[in-house]
Amino acid sequence: MKELTHYIGGEHVKGTSGRFADVFNPATGEVQSKCPLASTEELNKAVDIAAAAQPAWGATNPQRRARVMMEFVRLLNRDMDKLAEALSSEHGKTFPDAKGDIQRGLEVVEYCIGAPQLLKGEFTDGAGPGIDMYSMKQPLGVSAGITPFNFPAMIPMWMFAPALACGNAFILKPSERDPSVPLMLAELMEEAGLPKGLLQVVNGDKDAVDAILDNPVIQSVGFVGSTPIAEYIYGRGCSNGKRVQCFGGAKNHMIIMPDADMDQAADALVGAGYGAAGERCMAISVAVPVGDETADRLIEKLVPRIEKLKVGPFTAGNDVDYGPVVTAAAKEKILGLIQSGVDQGAELVVDGRDFSLQGYENGFFVGPHLFDKVTPDMDIYQQEIFGPVLSTVRAASYEEALKLAMDHEMGNGTAIYTRDGDAARDFAARINIGMVGVNVPIPVPLAYHTFGGWKKSMFGDLNQHGPDAFKFYTRTKTVTSRWPSGIKEGGEFNFKAMD
């Protein structure tokens, strides 16, 4: 059995706590490796090494730090297939999906190459008599990130790339379910020229999380995961005086207006609802057609598309639409919620509960499911399923559809499909959700804009990547400077003239 490591001080280090988590092959259900779970002492040792390495890196000019990012981008492209294969083998997502995971992280690294421009301060000449005023953006010191299983390449890069570009050291605590790619990324960062000790990967569970939140040297913490854990991390981190940004769960609605192109809307729902087995915080899990006629036409378009979806292991290549979910526990939770939907009266139009794949009977595969006539009081509407399940909630009017999305406690992403520019403009202006798509099913902003939800999908005041990342990983210092000049009298400076 392969035993994974931490990455501390530029070296692979075996765990010493004696505790391990199983890392599965989701397609077969077999344990393929053991991931060490760090103790508080192991985490604190990594922080000490990072703190010792950070001052020299923080004093390195931004252009040189940007060159490390440039080389890292080259290495990511060089090793794209190798990284994607490792990612798929532990997570289960298809090979193209795994490459997309890496690519979206890579784009944030590319944005961070602009650090010399993004870290420029402000200057006011002559703010007063002989007085100049300027600001500096300086690194925090040591930052940390706690990242989820569903994007084991993208989200770590969303955090450590801007943190390092700003001059910080970074402690990464990735998911123990698929930890290999974060370890590989740390190796590549050092191959790109990052000095040792600046990017540490410490695997772990709640013990490591609490050690991060309680360590006084760590100045900021980023988190992506479920809403209850986001609330816990935000509260404990803030009470310990840290800067914290936490991104929680989602229940993303797509409004389908009667004038929408129904083929386009159906294609978008299938891709956004079932891609990556629904294990995306930006997955569309609720379709809201406006009017029964719209709903009937939508269901008619959806059913044959969903029934044609191919589910299988990533080794099947491009012939697979999505793979298994990450663990047996995840599969059990999804199937339990599906049964609750049936028990509470939703109409199960496409039933994938009996799905089985020959040769992979022990894998964590879940067939595609489509519910119709879901109501807001049902568990499948209230909870984030995080699986290949799409719920249809029929709305009698646009206002009712809008209210559904606005009343839900989560506010990560939403979309509207329509040919009516006025309806789209009104929707974008009024909706209380952080990311909005107009005829775009998964409205994830590109790297030079910021990513973040509203309501219980996000805790904190600064979003991920884009300009907000450079604000989050720096603190601003403002300097008011006066250099008074003496008036020469007889070859001497008359300092009294300066009073």
Q: Which of 35, 112, 166, 281 is catalytic?
A: 281
Task: Count the residues in the chain.
Answer: 499
Beta-strand ranges (E) seen in 89-168 are: 123-128, 131-139, 142-146
Sign of CA dihedral 83, 88, 94, 100: negative
Angle ∠(292,341,380) on CA atoms, nearest 5: 85
- Is 238 one of the annotated active-site residues of the chain? no
Residue 58's contacts (CB-CB under 8 Å, 6 or more residues apart) are 138, 139, 141, 167, 168
Task: Judge whether 286 and 393 are in contact, CB under 8 Å.
Answer: yes
| Closest by CA position to 221, among listed 182, 172, 262 | 172
Task: At 15, give phi and psi (nearest 5°).
Answer: -70, 145
For residue 196, the 8-state DSSP code is T
Task: Judge whether 201 and 222 are in contact, CB under 8 Å.
Answer: no
Percentages of the chain per state (helix, strand, coil), in multiples of 5? 40, 25, 35
Q: How far apart are CA 124 and CA 122, in angstroms?
A: 7
State the Rg of the chain over Cα.
25
Please report, in angstroms and rounded to a whole number, the separation of the first and last CA atoms in the chain: 77
Q: How far apart are CA 237 and CA 447, in angstroms?
A: 26
Task: At 433, give phi and psi (nearest 5°).
Answer: -135, 145
Q: Which residues are catalytic?
A: 281
